[in-house]
Amino acid sequence: MPNDVHQNETASALIVFFADLQAADNAQFIFDQTKAAGLLPAGVDERYVTMIQTIYQQMSAADLRNSFTLDTALPAMQFMLVARAHGFETGPMTGFDHEKIGSVLGMAPERYVPIIMLAVGKAASAPTESVRLPVTKILSFR
């Protein structure tokens, strides 16, 4: 993390969010849990599990990458909000070695793709004030 040395040395924790390229294999497990909770009629899951696996098999590498990035970035953002609600600060970072981090952490590179890292900890000082683009510049009603 040559550009994020400070965060690496001072954050209480660094959490890396990896996309799981075999996520579709969880489909049956999720449907089994849903059925066990009485939230899904019997028989529906077979159709959906096949559909989910077929969709992933047919997606281009670029579409897969987009899909997995979304599926990983949303929970990372959610984690940031939950951490804040519990009194922690976080900082999102992509400035790490995406080629090496998997092997450093023992994550099989053919299955797990690093998407984003969060520095997490208690704020050592008040955060630097920052600004946002005005809403009129980024939002339009159609």
Ligand X SMILES: Cc1cc2nc3c(=O)[nH]c(=O)nc-3n(C[C@H](O)[C@H](O)[C@H](O)COP(=O)(O)O)c2cc1C
Structure tokens at 132: 């946002």
* 94: contact with ligand X by CB under 6 A: yes
Give the shortest CB-94-to-ligand X separation in angstroms.
4
* 130: contact with ligand X by CB under 6 A: yes
Q: What is the CA radius of gyration of the chain?
A: 19
x/- letters, 104..123, toward ligand X (CB under 6 A): ------------x-------
What does the buried/exposed string (b/e) look like for 2-39 if buried means 16 or more CB atoms within 10 Å of the residue's CB? Answer: eebeebeeebeebebbbbebeeeeebeeebeeeeeeee
CB nearer to ligand X: give 91 or 121: 91
* 92: contact with ligand X by CB under 6 A: yes
Output DSSP code: residue 104.
Answer: H
CB nearer to ligand X: give 30 or 83: 83
